[in-house]
Amino acid sequence: MLDATQSTVRPLVEVTGLKMYFPILTGILRRHTGDVKAVDGVSFSIQPGETLGLVGESGCGKSTVGRALLRLYEPTAGKVVIDGEDVASLDAEALRRKRPAMQMVFQDPQASLNPRMTVADIIGEPLIEHANMSEQDRLRRIYELMDQVGLNRSFANRYPYAFSGGQRQRIGIARALALNPRFIVCDEPIAALDVSIQAQVVNLLEDLQDRLGLTYLFISHDLSMVRHIADRVAVMYLGRIAELSPRDALYARPLHPYAEALLSAVNEPDPNRARRQRIILKGDVPSPANPPKGCNFCTRCPKVFDLCRSVKPELAEVEPGRFVACHLYADTKTAAGANRTATEAKS
């Protein structure tokens, strides 16, 4: 977890104006007639040792953000600075040298493991590609990684089909740790697991973070689990960030109407605390190929007004450390900007 003293440290990850558009090709000649705007101008930063949770309903662009950060997708636009280098602009060789610093844990532990490779081969593959090690040193490192994620060394020569979902995910985590990365994208790492196994995997990720100083982008639709692991949370809707706030502040008092509706569905574990009134949103999510002209949420927002339908709100700080993209806070933004200007003038 993030240490309070790290708040003044330079962010390990800085994302500015990230866009990921997928072309729509139609007709016999496959003409480019439009774009699916999966990610449309996303900006955020992650401090060293911090876990940023990225939440939202299915199809909002969460996983696409994670893949674009690591250049598994080629971003359409924007900057992705990881440890001082703009990953989005690196050439192929420079990107290959950068790979050890940034890794990914995939959602489906079965699909992400080669069924024809043993556990030792899977975990050792990054070492063959990126590390100049002897076979003996590589095997020693593989055993070390298996110990770190709680896998018995006797499993080294077994194949993925012999393991449970939780064990497969541990193999994936060991592979991600092989090259000592600083930043790991966890793309819904518990979504395909039984509920009884989910807590074990999350506890493992937290333990590894504490011991190795890892930085996570934790993508999930499980709001209760994000509350447990994240330091800050970004709420996405239709390719854009609606709200970015510290975890406790967001869960106690969400500011954006979409975040408010989303969190109203979270079960409260303490029966003595009042449960939020459930907010049921009407209508369907618009198509990312044809988003609304104004705010992406304006077609379903219970607090919508005329400005929302014509002008797209920008993500802005409305309270210390809390960023919201909503016209309801326009006056707050103006006041905050005026206060900063006055303070700068005095200094």
pLDDT tens digit string along 104-155? 999 888 899 999 999 999 999 999 999 989 999 999 999 999 999 999 999 9
Instruction: Name the amino acid, one letter, at 50.
Output: E
Strand 232-237: give its sheet, edge to edge: 102-105, 183-187, 215-219, 51-55, 232-237, 240-246, 322-324, 316-319
Tell me phi and psi for residue 346, to 5 degrees. -65, -35
Number of CB atoms found within 10 A of residue 26's CB: 10
Q: Mean pLDDT, to the nearest integer, of 163-179?
A: 95
pLDDT grade, residue 4 (50/70/90)? very low
Across the chain, what does the average pLDDT equal?
A: 89
Burial 76-91 (b: 16+ CB within 10 A, else e): bebebbbbeeebbebe
Q: Mean pLDDT, to the nearest integer, of 71-93?
A: 95
* Rounded Cα gap, residues 21 and 23, in angstroms: 6
CA distances in angstroms from 204 to 141, 167, 170, 209, 288, listed in the order given: 19, 12, 9, 9, 35
Q: What is the pLDDT of residue 196?
A: 81
Dump the DSSP string for 114-139: -TTS-HHHHHHHHHHHH----HHHHH
pLDDT digits (tens, 9 = 90+) for 186-236: 999 998 888 888 889 999 999 999 999 999 999 998 898 999 999 999 999
Percent of the chain with pLDDT over 90: 77
Q: Mean pLDDT, to the nearest integer, of 242-256?
A: 96
Contact of 162 with 190, CB cutoff 8 Å: no
Classified by CATH at the fold level, domain 4-346 comes out as: Rossmann fold (3.40.50)
pLDDT value at 339 more than 60: no
Coil/strand/helix, residue 276: coil
| CA-CA-CA-CA dihedral for 225, 207, 213, 42, to nearest 10 | -10
Percent of the chain with pLDDT over 70: 90
Q: What is the pLDDT of residue 345?
A: 39
Q: What is the pLDDT of residue 211?
A: 94
pLDDT grade, residue 302 (50/70/90)? very high
pLDDT grade, residue 344 (50/70/90)? very low
pLDDT value at 337 more than 50: no
pLDDT digits (tens, 9 = 90+) for 49-76: 999 999 999 889 999 999 999 999 999 9
pLDDT value at 261 more than 70: yes
